[in-house]
Chain A
Amino acid sequence: MKAAGRSGRVEGRAAPPRLRTAARVTAAVFGAYGFAWGLAAFGAELGALAGMAPAEAVTASSLLALVVLPVASLWAFAVPRVTVGWAVLGGGGVLLIAASQFAGMVGP
C-alpha cells in the first residue's frame, strides 16, 4: 500500500485510493497487454512489408512484444500519474493496432 499512498500525495487528486489502485492494476494487466498486442501486430506487418517471410515476421515481433510486456506492466506502476500510464499503454496500443491495420491494407 506504500506506493499507492505515495502516488496519492504526488497526484493530490480526490480519486479514492482504491479506484486509483484499480486503475493501476488494470493498466498493468490490460493496458500493457494491449500495448504488446499492438507492437506484435504492427511489427509483423512491418516485417512482412520489409520482405520477411510471414512466419518469421510474426515470430520476431511476438518475441519482441513479450520482452516489452513485463516492462510495460511495471512501468504502469512507476509512472507518477496513472492517467498518463493508461494514455500511453492504452492509446499506444490502439494506435499501433490501427497502424498495423493500415499497413495490412497497404501491403501486398
Chain B
Amino acid sequence: MTAKTRKLISPALRAAMLWPHTWAGVTLGGLLMLIFFMGSLAVFASEIDRWMMPATRVGAVETGPASLDHAVLPAVEKLAAGRTVRDWYVQLPDERRPVMALQLRTETGNAGGMATSDGQLLPPVGTLGGTYFFYPLHYSLHLRAGFIGYWIVCFASVAMLAGLISGVIIHARIFKDFFTFRSWGQFRRSLLDLHNLTGVLVLPFHLMITITGIVIVLPIVLPAGVQALYGGDVRRFYDDALGNYSRPRSGIAAPLAPLDPMVAEARRLWGGGEPAVVFVYNAGDAASVVRINRALRDRISLDVQPVFFDGVTGQVLKYQRPGPVVATHRVLSGLHFAAFDHWPLRWLYLLFGLSGCMLIGTGMLYWMEKRRVAHGVKPGVGWRSVAAIACGSTSGLLIATLAMMAANRLLPAGIPSRELVEVGLFFLIWIGSAVHAAVRTRTDPPWSEQCTAVALLAAACVALNWITTGEHPIRAVASADWAVLGVDVVLALTAVAAWRVSRRLAQRPDPELSTLAKVTDHA
C-alpha cells in the first residue's frame, strides 16, 4: 500500500463509512441472505429439479429430439386438449435436463408439462422445484407485478455493492488479512476476522456477482436511457438491442410450416451449436412467428442468438447480431448466469455464493455481539429483532427450504394444486421459524435448536428420497444419476455439519462468561 492510498483513505472517511456499512447490513442483511442463498441454489436448479421431480429422472439424453415436428407438435396438441393455442414454447432436452418442458398459452388459460425427448408426455410433476421456485425467489422474490421484486432485489444489491466498497475503505489493510484469523481468544474477534477474511478473499467474486446481477435487469431498474431514446418503451429497446421481433395476430388462419428445416437453417446461421428453446407466437395464424434460441453451454455470453422465422413460409424474418456494447452487456449477464458447461466453476459459484451468505451472516453476528457489550445481557427490542431476523434468515431459511423438499417427497401425487401446497408450506414454516427465533431469543437466538431441526430435516430428505423413489446413493452411482446423487450428498453433508454445530452450540457457555468478561478490545 503506497503513501498516496493511505492519504486517500483518511481516518475521517473510514469513520464516515462505518455508519452506512453497519446499518445497510443490519437492515438489509436478512433480505441479502435470502438473495445469496437462493442464488447459490439456483446454480444447481436443474439438479434440484431432478431430485424434486422423480418422473423426470429418465437418464441422460445424448442429443435433442431427432425431429421437432414428430416429437413436439403432438405433445403440444395433447396438452392443448382441444383448446385453441395462441403461443407456445418448448425447452429442448439437454445434458442437465433430459426432458422437454412445454408451455402453452391458450384462449382459456395456460398449460404446461414435461415430455420425454421422443414426445411422451409425463404425468404432472406437481412441484415448482428449483427452476420455478428457488430461482425466481432469488431474483424477483416471486413479486412479478410491476417488476416490484426486481426493484427490491436491485435496491438491496446496490446496498450490497455500497457495503462491499465501504467495507474495503473501513478495512484498508487487505494484505495483512490474508494471514489473519484469530480463532483462539475471543469469540467476537474471530467473528470479525471471519467477516474480514471472507470479505477480502472472495471480494472479486462478490463484486462481480452483485454488479452483474443488476446488469441483467438494468433497462428495467434504471430505464433513464430507455426513457430518453425509446420513449420509455422497454420492449422496443429489447427488440433493437437483442434483435427480438414481434408482430400482432392477423386473424387469418394458416398452418405452421415444418420446424425441422428452420432448426437446420438456424444451425447454419449460428455456424454450429444446438437449439435450446423454440417459441411459436401467433400459432395457427397467418402472422405466426417462430423463434429459435441457441443453447448457452458453449460460451460465457448470455447472447441466445435468436433467429426469427415466418411461421407459414419458413423464411428468416430477422437475425440480428448485437453491437459491441450490447455484446459486452450479454457477457456480463452471462458471468452471472453461469449457464456455460463447466462443472468445477459451477461448484465454485455455489461455494462463493455461500461465502456471500457467510459474509452477511458474520456481519450481523458481529453487530449483535458488539451491541451486547454496549447494552449488557438484557437486550432490548431492537437487538432482539435483529437477532430474530439473523436467525430466521439463516437457520430458518434452511429449515424452510429443507421442509419444502421433505414435503415434496411426502405429499401424495394426486392432491390438487400440489405445487402451491409446497410453496405455502415453505412460507409458513419460514414464518414459523422466524417467530420461534423471536420468541426463544433470550441472551441468544435459538441457534442450537434450529440447527438440530436443520440436521434432522436434511437427513429426513435423504431418507425420504430413498423410500419414495427407491433411489439410494449406490443405485444412483450405478445408474450414473449424478444430479440426484449430488443433491443427496450435499443434503447429507448439511445434516452432519448442522448436527455438529448444534452440539457445539448446546455446550457453549452463556454469553456473560464467554464475551462480556473480556471487554478488552475496541468495542
| Chain A residues near B (Cβ < 8 Å) | 1-4, 6-7, 28, 36-41, 43-45, 48, 52-63, 65-67, 69-71, 73-74, 77-78, 100, 104
Contacts and interface: CB of A to CB of B under 8 A. Distances in A.
7 contacts: A36-B222, A58-B226, A58-B237, A62-B219, A66-B211, A74-B166, A77-B19
Most A Cβ at <10 Å: residue of B158, B166, B237, B322: B158
B228 A3 contact: no
Given A56-B326, A59-B329, A74-B165, A2 B215 contact: no
Contacts of A78: 13, 16-17
B323 interface: yes
B17 A60 contact: no
A36 B161 CA distance: 15
B211 A41 contact: no
Contacts of A59: 218-219, 225, 241, 325-326, 328-329
Chain B interface mostly helix, strand, loop or mixed?
Answer: helix
A33 to B, nearest CB: 8
A78 to B, nearest CB: 5
Contact of B224 (A4, A37, A48, A73): A37
A65 B161 CA distance: 14
Nearest to A32: B158
B240 interface: yes
B-side interface size class: 35 or more
Given A4-B19, A70-B162, A60 B13 contact: no
Given A73-B158, A74-B166, A41 B228 contact: yes
Contact of A54 (B13, B158, B165, B240): B240
Contacts of A66: 211, 214-215, 218, 222
B262 to A, nearest CB: 26
Contact of A45 (B165, B222, B229): B229
A88 B364 CA distance: 32
A65 B225 CA distance: 10
B18 A57 contact: no
Nearest to A97: B224
A56 B228 contact: no
A3 B19 contact: yes
